Amino acid sequence: MNLSDSQTAAAQGAAPAPPRRVSAMEAVLAHLRGAIERGEYEIGDKLPSEAELCRTLEVSRPVLREALRALQTMGLTVSRTGKGTFVVAATVEDPTFGDYAASDLLEVRRHVEIPVAGYAAARRTPEDLDHLAHLLDRMERETDTTAWVAMDTLFHLAVAEAAQNPVFRRVIEEIRDALARQSAFLNQLGGRREQSNREHRAIVEALTDGSEQDARDAMAHHIDRVETTLTAIVRATGTD
């Protein structure tokens, strides 16, 4: 069975225009998720070894390991050092990013980042705006996902810094690792990078204009889109 990257999102039931190319990792993830959801692997079962899965699915070990990490993030499996990967749930409920569940992370982001954007619009300095504009330009040119994810967290820290309250920055620092993990997850499975860049641009424009309401609205829209993409991933079912 060759799970190459020749599939598209349209082939998996998403909107056909424009089709989004599905990576080899996504194809492997969909296959394994589908097998778990159909009961081919039941709760408590151990998945085949990495070597066996690589042979069966005809993919490289790095691709397989990315898919296995995504399964664990979704809460379907757990990896036990020296023992293998075991199924712990039959359906995806609430992905976990580092120390925090996705639902908890989104709730905090709505209560913190949206008002913070408003404060930032009122209090930002010219240096804050220059920093955000430079960071956004770099993000829009970046092609490496890992580098882009790192800058994504820096962007949200920079907005918090522009609010001129060190407590806000400390809160974002606390969830920084979870934000990075969520960003990487959504980019791998939701192809959100370009959309996120546009949303970030709208936030910076609102801060530049000094419009508190526009800044809150832009940040709320950004978080709404994150939640929408995450919900779509959770509700999707695995396919071969």
Looking at residue 237, its pLDDT comes to: 67
Find out whether the peptide bond into 18 is cis, omega within 30 degrees of 0: yes
Contacts of residues 40-43 at CB distance under 8 Å and 24 or more positions apart, as own/partner, are 41/87, 42/87, 42/90, 43/87, 43/88, 43/89, 43/90
At 65-119, the pLDDT tens digits run 999 999 999 999 999 988 999 999 999 989 999 999 999 999 999 999 999 999 9
For residue 50, pLDDT beyond 70: yes
Q: How far is CA 166 from CA 101, 130, 150, in A?
A: 25, 19, 21
Question: Is there a contact between 156 and 44 (Cβ–Cβ < 8 Å)?
Answer: no
Rounded CA Rg of the chain:
19
First to last CA, the chain: 10
What integer best gives the mean pLDDT of the chain?
A: 89
**Banded model confidence at residue 191, pLDDT cuts 50, 70, 90:** confident
Q: What is the mean pLDDT of residues 40-45?
A: 94
Instruction: Tell me the C-alpha distance between 38 and 223, whole Å.
Output: 32
For the chain, which residues make up each domain, given as ranges? 9-87, 96-234
Retrieve residue 67's tokens. Answer: 């898919």
Q: Which 3 state secondary structure label does DSSP give 21?
A: strand
Strand partners, 77: 87
The model carries a pTM of 0.83
Looking at residue 114, its pLDDT comes to: 98
**Banded model confidence at residue 5, pLDDT cuts 50, 70, 90:** very low
At 138-172, the pLDDT tens digits run 999 999 989 999 999 999 999 999 999 999 999 99
For residue 136, pLDDT beyond 60: yes
Whether 96-234 and 9-87 are alike in CATH topology: the answer is no
Amino acid at 192: R
CATH class, domain 96-234, is: mainly alpha
For residue 14, pLDDT beyond 60: no
Nearest CA among 165, 30, 174, 181 for reference residue 102: 181
Q: Alpha helices, DSSP H only, in the chain?
A: 24-37, 50-57, 61-73, 102-123, 126-141, 145-162, 166-174, 176-190, 193-209, 212-235
For residue 19, pLDDT beyond 80: no
Return the higher-pLDDT residue of 208 and 3: 208
Question: Is there a contact between 238 and 35 (Cβ–Cβ < 8 Å)?
Answer: yes
CATH class, domain 9-87, is: mainly alpha
